[in-house]
Amino acid sequence: MTTLRNWILAALLGTLIASPTMAMGGGSGPAIRRPTPVPPPGFTYVWVAPVYRTVTDQTWIPESTQLVGTWLETSPGHMEYVYRQIITPGHYQTTTRQVLVADGHWQLVQLSPPPIYVNPPIYVNPPIIVRNPGSVGVDGYGPVQTEDLSRFSPLSEWPK
């Protein structure tokens, strides 16, 4: 009766996963895994498997005695069943076991990245900078006073 109740609860609460003990009629009930959540648009859920780590342990195996029967020829044509005693001394033995590090879980994954809009660059002509405002231009000399450079002119040697 308990098993039937567990099956009905499993059907109502989530997805039923058959376990080996349930297939043989044993166990406390079916294992229940929650259904996949509904993802938002552009995303999906991916099942990430549980992570296990292998741990190595040293286990003490106590001394054991074992009787082994075998046929032995005691004389020509005469066989007898003889027991031999085998003693295995106590010793350490290396054993391994799996330890759960992280449970399995659903992970939200983006299907494709959204398009990235990049604004086109705006080209601006650099401003015109007048470096020597005292030079002669179309309109003549500029209105800005500059220092007197006549002493560097070859005409400065002329008589006045």
pLDDT at 63 over 60: yes
pLDDT at 46 over 80: yes
Residue 159 is predicted with a pLDDT of: 63
* Residue 22, SS3 per DSSP: helix
- This prediction has a pTM of 0.35
User: What are the pLDDT digits (tens) for 89-117?
Assistant: 999 999 999 999 999 888 999 888 777 88
Burial degree of 136 (CB within 10 A; 0-12, 13-18, 19+): exposed
Strands (E) located in 1-155: 15-17, 31-33, 43-48, 51-61, 64-75, 78-88, 91-102, 105-110
Cα 97 from chain centre: 23
- Which neighbouring-strand residues pair with 55? 97
| Spatial CA neighbour of 61 closest among 24, 98, 89 | 89
pLDDT at 8 over 80: no
- Which neighbouring-strand residues pair with 52? 100
Q: Mean of the pLDDT values across residues 1-6?
A: 58
155 Cβ contact list (under 8 Å, min separation 6): none
